[in-house]
Structure 1
């Protein structure tokens, strides 16, 4: 027994306390750092969800919370606001957590390889070359992700919003860090890269406004139009759906433009987001009914169209048709003259014949 213990190989504690211990410490440190970063990101995401970044934490049921105050300002339900912010915070937190985990893991792997006496200089050099190549080849992809990240942080739009992204105008069906999917009025689904979005027009964030350009003839005074607007508003209030969509009473901005037939009066109504079009249709329908009850007609633009038929001498049939048209014009002129109506404009044949007679008379005088 003593011989076996003496002849047994000794454990190299120096080696175990050297590289393996440092590798274990690196791995544990990477795990702890990743957990700390995720906790920090989670707190940041919670602050984004509550809209209290850089301020003290407030209870959601408090009347002074950000959700309640924004609801009072915009007319949107606090639950909708909280859901929207929670979705935005979830997207931000997921992306930041993934980026933090990848960076920490790569650094930890390089440190472990260095402890195992691997030459990581070629790896770093290769990584630098790959980084330069990606910087040139994938710069559009990086631009898309950065643009999407700031869109999420700034809450420029979200799923369900009606936006104007330039050529794509419609409802947002999907919103990611790389691209945005927008469904337009015709049903076409547009996939727009976030890096290509230069400006965003959100038609349903906060509140909206129904803008109506109403043509009114000059016989209807502004006071009469105000009375009509009040009557139309009272009729619209009977519909609970339309009444709940309106945040303020209609505002008459005044005369927007003038023409020979009518003047255009601009009327504006502040509404809840995405409901301005419903309020516009309801207002136009009630306004038309009120005009009919009062006997007010929508002014019509007066237009006069003059037509002339050129004489064609290419075929005998065309000559016969031209003569028939001349006889019809002559009969029409005679009938209008007998009826003491306004004299019509001279036809092309009459102008040509007058010009020919004038030329013949001049030639006779000269001879």
Structure 2
């Protein structure tokens, strides 16, 4: 549990002497001294010429009737107030008319001395109407105005003579004393019964408070508060290090929420998963941490929105007794008082003040809920809620009691100057109490500032200075606000009520608006289960932190403008039609709308593309999915350029920049670029269309621009092919006119075999079919074969060979393997069955007839042998094959074959056809 600031340990911790603050304190003291010296200087200067003035002596006679009239005026509060106002107006008129004479006399008396003294050299050092002299005159004017304001405020604050005279008159005058006693008895008679009735109503409604709070407690037991749990789980070792460095046994002093229930197992598993991801992948861990923070904030806002209805119900129940009090007090006023009497004015003022104070306390209970932590709308612990609520009650009680005393005194005849002085004293007491509250929170808030900026080493000096000095600086601002209000305030009570009421209303409205808007956003972006997250939700959740931050800034700016309007600044006129504020707001709105529309278009396109990818991947259409993934970066780049160009041009146009020359220059540059890079543009356009038409993909075997190879890389301008020999071809798309892609689902294994003319054709056909059937049943190839072997028929017949053709339909990835295996099995099976495959080679034997005749005529011993030799088997077989060939394919045979080339008698040169 957090130690409350009013605890003895806390007081000991928040009152150390900070060495770093000693120079600041000295500077503050010096500034305060100069402040009062400047304020007192005009008083001394004004008092000097007034010294020689002589009082006006005179005598006046007073008749008894005049004395009775004066006594009647003094006894009547209204007439006495009128006389006091008249005398004050006369005194003010006299004060305004007297100084010029004195000032002129003083100036005339001091003129020679000024002219003759060394001070005359000072004005001569500056140019007439120069910047330095203007600044000096303006500074002197401000100093004189500040001095007059200080003198008037101090005179009002120190004017205890009027209050003492009024009090003495109340005690000594029988009429005044009787009026005072009558007012007191009327107040007691009207307010005490009303307060008793209010107390009874509060007692009757106490059970309703407790029942609502208990119902919320039961709901939280069923469903643990995810906000506090995630805040606890999101704590890192770096965050807990400052706590570990505290003194042992010292309680923490940070106003942070502490969990009061068990941690859900789901959150523990999520944190464990985040920790594992942090160890495995730091980049992924950072994204997970950001996502966890977004979820924690979304859960917090949704929790606040869930608490809001019950908190409003309890606040309405707390307002009922106050309404009962107002009704009872109003009824009693009509019984005990008459309109226009001092009793009536005093009761009206007291009732208004009491109602305002009670409303402020109830609003504090509405946000802090000290007795119902599960309905609290601010992130703080129980001890801090009790501490802040107690200080609210103290400040409201002191200020309300002081204002009530001043209003009752005014109703009893206290003049306006003394009444204003009392109000300023009461306001001073309130500012002092607020400053004390700020100083009590100096140490814990300073520790919180150090923790928030602990990760930024470059800001360490600034962080330490801010943590040490923020409380004194804030207290000085609070006191300065009182000075600003007290120096020049008119109709102080009504101004205080007006400004204070509007300030509280604006702050409460801003907080309620933030709870409702952030809660609705959290509900809109938060999914109950991870499995329920759709693609749209995942894309939208990316913008949740940005949207939350933008809405927070908008609420803050609107709240600041509302506060400025309530405090007297004319903000409405700043944004009226025709002003710079109106134009600026209109430009921001137009730019915001353009950015939102661009963002919506961007996300619609992305979500549509990703949905298409998921659908194709799920259905198994991986080819189209791969093609879309190839085109996706180019499409996103083009879309982003178009959207960014439109938004930027719209923003420049709304800010008053003439975009006509920009568009003209861009057009000229585009035309020049188009003429200068026609081939490059052709590459881009052709590449885009080829990719959109899915002409090729990475890994396909293609033939284009006269080269073949496997596609290794595709860009928007070129394609890279890896050839079968390992060489790399880079082909621009402008050179591609035809694309031959062998990887498009089907790859037919062609079968074509030539057998020797005269072989059994039917046996060869049946053998081919058997090979196809066996190949399809093989487990190694059956996955790549789509159909049985299809025999097309006898494709060609000539004198030496018969051609048989067919094919097997396969997948593109299995075509070459099946085809090669089919051919291997054909060789093996045909060899087993004795089916001879035709040999396209022909051997021709030729001879020289002249050499044979010469040998015969010369009586060579070989002549008879040659004549009687039998014909060679090879020659006879060749002759038979030649005789079987068609007539157009036969080569003329020499009629004298004996002694041709290749015979022992005439080894000639074979034919080039051999």
TM-score of the alignment, normalized to the shorter chain, above 0.5: yes
Map 1:237-248 onto structure 2 (within 5 A): 237=776, 239-248=778-787
The superposition leaves residues 308-355 of structure 1 with CA deviations (integer Å, 9 ceiling, x where unpaired) of 99xxxxxxxxxxxxx9xx99xx99x96755634432559xxxxxxxxx
Offset at residue 39 of structure 1 (A): 1.6
Q: 2:590 aligns with which of 25, 49, 53?
A: 25
CA distance in 2, matches of 1:336, 1:38: 99
* 2:779 is the counterpart of 1:249: no
Question: Is the Cα contact below 8 Å between 2:754 and 2:804 reproduced in 1?
Answer: yes
The SS at the match of 1:283 is: helix
Offset at residue 102 of structure 1 (A): 0.5
Q: 1:122 aligns with which of 620, 636, 661?
A: 661
* 2:271 is the counterpart of 1:271: no
Map 1:1-367 onto structure 2 (within 5 A): 1=484, 12-13=574-575, 14-19=579-584, 21-23=586-588, 25-44=590-609, 46-47=611-612, 50=615, 60=618, 67=619, 78=620, 81-82=621-622, 84-237=623-776, 239-304=778-843, 337=867, 339-341=869-871, 342-344=897-899
Which structure 2 segments of 5+ residues have no match? 1-483, 490-563, 872-896, 902-914
Offset at residue 204 of structure 1 (A): 1.8
Change (3 A) 1:46 1:308: farther
**Structure holding more strand per residue:** 1
The SS at the match of 1:177 is: coil
The superposition leaves residues 19-41 of structure 1 with CA deviations (integer Å, 9 ceiling, x where unpaired) of 46415532551353243233234
The superposition leaves residues 203-257 of structure 1 with CA deviations (integer Å, 9 ceiling, x where unpaired) of 1212210112211222223321221113312442453112222111111112223
**Structure holding more helix per residue:** 2
The superposition leaves residues 120-139 of structure 1 with CA deviations (integer Å, 9 ceiling, x where unpaired) of 33322221111111222233
Change (3 A) 1:338 1:301: farther
Question: Is the Cα contact below 8 Å between 1:46 and 1:89 reproduced in 2?
Answer: no
Q: Which has the higher contact order (CA 8 A, sep 6+)?
A: 1
Offset at residue 96 of structure 1 (A): 1.9
Question: Is the Cα contact below 8 Å between 1:179 and 1:191 reproduced in 2?
Answer: yes
Question: Is the Cα contact below 8 Å between 2:594 and 2:650 reproduced in 1?
Answer: no
The SS at the match of 2:783 is: helix
CA distance in 2, matches of 1:190, 1:38: 38
Offset at residue 296 of structure 1 (A): 1.9
Larger-Rg structure:
2
The superposition leaves residues 93-143 of structure 1 with CA deviations (integer Å, 9 ceiling, x where unpaired) of 322221111012122222333334333333222211111112222333333
Q: Which residue of 2 aligns with 1:349?
A: none
> What value does the CA root-mean-square deviation take over the aligned residues?
3.7
Question: Is the Cα contact below 8 Å between 1:218 and 1:262 reproduced in 2?
Answer: yes
Offset at residue 183 of structure 1 (A): 1.7
CA distance in 1, matches of 2:845, 2:761: 37
Question: Is the Cα contact below 8 Å between 1:203 and 1:273 reproduced in 2?
Answer: yes
Offset at residue 281 of structure 1 (A): 0.6
- How many residue pairs align between the two structures? 302
Change (3 A) 1:183 1:46: farther
Offset at residue 271 of structure 1 (A): 0.4
Question: Is the Cα contact below 8 Å between 2:757 and 2:838 reproduced in 1?
Answer: no
Question: Is the Cα contact below 8 Å between 1:34 and 1:100 reproduced in 2?
Answer: no
More displaced stretch, 245-254 vs 163-172: 163-172
Change (3 A) 1:19 1:196: farther
Question: Is the Cα contact below 8 Å between 1:214 and 1:267 reproduced in 2?
Answer: no
Question: Is the Cα contact below 8 Å between 1:242 and 1:282 reproduced in 2?
Answer: no
Which structure 1 segments of 5+ residues have no match? 52-58, 61-66, 68-77, 310-322, 347-367
TM-score by length of 1: 0.70
Offset at residue 178 of structure 1 (A): 2.3
CA distance in 1, matches of 2:610, 2:899: 79
CA distance in 2, matches of 1:220, 1:306: 26
The SS at the match of 1:293 is: helix
TM-score by length of 2: 0.30
Offset at residue 9 of structure 1 (A): 11
CA distance in 2, matches of 1:308, 1:9: 127
Change (3 A) 1:126 1:303: same
The SS at the match of 1:156 is: coil
Change (3 A) 1:258 1:48: farther
Change (3 A) 1:125 1:308: farther
